[in-house]
Amino acid sequence: MGGDRLATHCGGGTDGWGLASSPWSAPFTRIPEPRLQPSTPTFLTTFALILCAAAVTTVVFHRLRQPVILGYLLAGLLVGPHIMTAMTADHATTETLAEVGVILLLFAVGLEFSVRRLLRVGGSVAITSIIDVSLMAWLGIGVARVLGWSFREALFTGAMITASSTTIIAKTFEERGIDRKLRDQVMGVLVVEDLVAVLFLAGLGSLTGGAASPSLLVTVLRMFTLLFIWVTIGLVVVPRLIRRIVKTVRAETIVITSIGLCFAFALLARALGYSVALGGFIAGSLIAESGKGPQVAELVKPVRDIFAAVFFVAVGMLIDPALIAQHWAVVVLLTVVVIVGKVVSVSLGAFLAGRGTQAAVRTGLSMAQIGEFSFIIVSLGVATGAVREFLFPVAVAVSAITTLATPLLIGSSGRITSWVDRKLPRPLQTYATLYASWVDQLRRAPVRRTRGALLRGLVQWLVLDAVLTAVVVIAAFLLYPAVARALAGRVEPQLTAIALAVVAVAVATPFGMGIGRTARAIAMALARTALPSTGAVDRADAPRRALVVTLEISILLLTALPVLAITQPFVPPFRGALLLGAVLGLLAITAWRSARNLEGHIRAGAEILVDAVRSALPPEQGTAEMMIPTMEGAADRFTTATHMLPGLGVPTPFRVEPLHYAAGRTLAELGVRGRTGASILGVTRGDTAIPAPSKTERLEAGDLLVLVGTQESVDAAIQLLQRG
């Protein structure tokens, strides 16, 4: 079958599987016709060429311990029209195969997604995801506007750099044997990112470049129809159908039914004007709701892997080295934005969620790349005419560079986290350790119904103020053309813009002040839940004041960053960040002062706890496991001192034995805080007490240490001290 007959059979560029309506059509229009003989069976030749090239590069990249996706992209470059024109794959056939691949790829993502799993990701993942997605979208839109790109190109750029690559991260974690805690945190954030990327696909799919764009009413009706079928019909019919079919225990029946549903929903999404990839995701998510998602995913995995490889090879075929060389500055800029932005946004979000410095930085380093969703989003923009064609190879180049950097960043995460910890001022080091323990106490603290109702009410006011602020800013932008026309000839356009901006600021100021007041009230309520008052002498006052400031910063970021991302297309680039930066700067100064004041509290607590350890533990005791029962049985000054010093996390005693890894090493060599997140609050050596030891202190056999931090970090610190 020739390429022309294949196109005619598939819809001929008009409907159904037509090439003109495919999100791959616009990118592939630049590829010249393949130089194959007219009698050559084009489909078979192209399919064999793609898979053989992918097989060779996959083996090579596997031997080099590099992500195989890079091998697929290289294979596409080799069989594409820009390197070896004598072996170029047929563009129409490749386009059809790539569309099948993207449907199956999103189908597999949907199989791992479910409403139940989304609800289980927890507050830590939710906080990290909100800060990550909002900050990256804001950066992408802002950079595009600084470069002078169009409104639509800015939106697609912002969406392009929000989602990290699930495929790349999963394979890298599998190869390097990453611990479960970090893997669960990263995968939880990826679930939310994937959902946001799907929402971007749905929203941006209605942005076309021509005059035939659907009206707002038609767009709303299409969205409502899709949601109705997804939520009402799909959730009622598909999960029950899959559960019945799985009972047949016939793998063939399960595979065919699942893939049939996948392509049926892909066609439905296209009929409603959305990407076929969105339809594949919906089908996968509905099957996941049946509870049989993992079983179906395992059965369809070979089919998915084949066509996913074809998809990435097709992406590689679109890499035009000349076009990338022409836009090399944009590639470098977006690569820096992705790596730095992802590391900072994810690390900041994870830290504020109470993950600790070490875990937060490792999470950020793991997610510093973009991948498959970026290709799908940008290809949709090129196909609809919303973005220029150069953005696709730029996105592929940025993804390739960041993908290549991912194993290096993950492999060096231990050294980087230790370096970050060493560079922090001492007050911030201890402050960061204790903040994680405070958030851990907040998670486990019972919340009374009255306080829960109060917090819900405050959160509702916070969301309302944020929404109204965004509405005012966007309304001012949308009203400007009408106001400028009404005042034309009487007032200069620049003065009109300034006046409208002043009015918008005046109207939005009360809402902004409301956000600040509500954030303060929520922070106070949460801090009192984590660190309640301790009687006539409030010993928790110093740590509580520090916690209030940090929670206030967290709440402001969670509220302001989404507002900045939403309003960024309508205001001058990064203008709103100046106000947010000023407010956060003032709060950062307050946080630094609180950390300095906390040092006195910590030093006094260290002296008390070290003295308690020295008097409560006889020198003949051997191991940390034997210490705690002995202390509990003997009136236990250590426990009493711990209760008198709230805000110090979970103080835990530990004795250094002669065979322990820690014996004879300095605290700087051990890097306990940078590697585990726990801190050594004090050391007892015979009759000598060393509260808050310096990093040059060398531990000796028989030393009694007091470790503080979350229970998880303290357990990790004990393992490090014992076995290295």
Q: What is the pLDDT of residues 319-329, one digit of tens each?
A: 778 888 888 99
Q: What is the 3-state secondary structure (H, E, C) of 511-560?
A: HHHHHHHHHHHHHHHHHHHHCCCCCCCCCCHHHHHHHHHHHHHHHHHHHH
Q: Residue 143: pLDDT band by 50, 70, 90 thresholds?
A: very high
Topology classification of domain 603-723: Alpha-Beta Plaits (3.30.70)
Residue 492 pLDDT more than 60? yes
Residue 390 pLDDT more than 60? yes
Residue 217 pLDDT more than 50? yes
The sign one gets for the Cα dihedral 498, 499, 503, 504 is negative
Mean of the per-residue pLDDT values of the chain: 78
Q: Residue 116: pLDDT band by 50, 70, 90 thresholds?
A: low
Segment 161-203, tens digit of pLDDT: 998 887 778 777 776 777 777 887 888 888 888 888 888 877 7
Helix, coil or strand: residue 694:
coil
357 against 454, higher pLDDT: 357
In this prediction, residues 346-373 reach a mean pLDDT of 87
Supply the pLDDT for residue 42: 78
Q: Residues near 342 by Cβ (< 8 Å), separated by ≥ 6?
A: 132, 136, 164, 364, 367, 368, 369
d(CA 367, CA 187) in angstroms, rounded, equals 10
In this prediction, residues 96-116 reach a mean pLDDT of 80
Q: Residue 219: pLDDT band by 50, 70, 90 thresholds?
A: low
In percent, the amount of the chain with pLDDT more than 70 equals 81
Q: May I ask the CATH class of domain 3-206+215-414? A: mainly alpha
Identical fold for domains 3-206+215-414 and 603-723, yes or no, is no
617 against 265, higher pLDDT: 265
Q: What is the dihedral of CA 525, 526, 527, 532, to 10 degrees?
A: 80
Q: Residues near 620 by Cβ (< 8 Å), separated by ≥ 6?
A: none
Tokens 């910590």 belong to residue: 602
Segment 19-65, tens digit of pLDDT: 334 444 444 444 444 444 443 467 788 888 888 888 888 888 888 87
Segment 621-669, tens digit of pLDDT: 444 444 444 434 333 555 655 666 666 666 777 888 888 888 888 888 8
Supply the pLDDT for residue 117: 64
Q: Residue 157: pLDDT band by 50, 70, 90 thresholds?
A: very high
Segment 7-21, tens digit of pLDDT: 333 333 333 333 334
d(CA 342, CA 213) in angstroms, rounded, equals 34
Supply the pLDDT for residue 21: 41
Supply the pLDDT for residue 621: 43
Supply the pLDDT for residue 504: 86
In this prediction, residues 513-541 reach a mean pLDDT of 81
Supply the pLDDT for residue 341: 93
d(CA 87, CA 85) in angstroms, rounded, equals 5
Supply the pLDDT for residue 403: 84
Residue 724 pLDDT more than 80? no
Residue 573 pLDDT more than 70? yes
Supply the pLDDT for residue 345: 92
Q: Residue 339: pLDDT band by 50, 70, 90 thresholds?
A: very high
d(CA 16, CA 392) in angstroms, rounded, equals 24
Beta bridge partners, 300, equal: none
What residues does each domain of the chain span?
Answer: 3-206+215-414, 440-596, 603-723
What pTM, to 2 d.p., does this model score? 0.80
Helix%, strand%, coil% for the chain, nearest 5: 75, 5, 25
Supply the pLDDT for residue 2: 39
From the list 606, 581, 694, the residue with the least C-alpha distance to 138 is 581
571 against 344, higher pLDDT: 344
